[in-house]
Amino acid sequence: MGQTLPEGQVGITATVRQAKLRPECANRYPTLPARMWTSAARMAELVASYGRAPQRPEKTRKGRTLPEADFEFRGGFAQLIWPS
């Protein structure tokens, strides 16, 4: 069955958040592969490292590097929520 956790601990299983560049936006990110799912964290690193390009996207309104208009997302959590 499952693993028993010590009292007061909570276990969470989640998939890694993934991102995929939309094909119609590929011209804005010429160094990124379009149509390929990859870790959203890695994709954000690649976009951030592409700093010399004149058409480099700025962070979105929510402070994210990957705009939803240019990327599709799946799995994981859209935003981390910390317990209070």
Q: What is the mean pLDDT of each run of 10 residues along the chain (84 residues)?
A: 55 76 92 89 88 48 79 77 52
Tell me the residue range of the domain where 44 lies. Answer: 18-74
Residue 44 lies in a domain: yes
Residue 12 lies in a domain: no
- Note the pTM of the prediction, 2 decimals: 0.62
Residue 28 lies in a domain: yes
Residue 5 lies in a domain: no
Number of compact structural domains in the chain:
1
Residue 3 lies in a domain: no
> Nearest Cα to 21, choosing from 55, 67, 76, 54?
67
Q: What is the pLDDT of residue 35?
A: 83
Rounded to 5 degrees, what angle do the CA atoms 77, 23, 38 make?
35
Q: What is the pLDDT of residue 7?
A: 62
Residue 80 lies in a domain: no
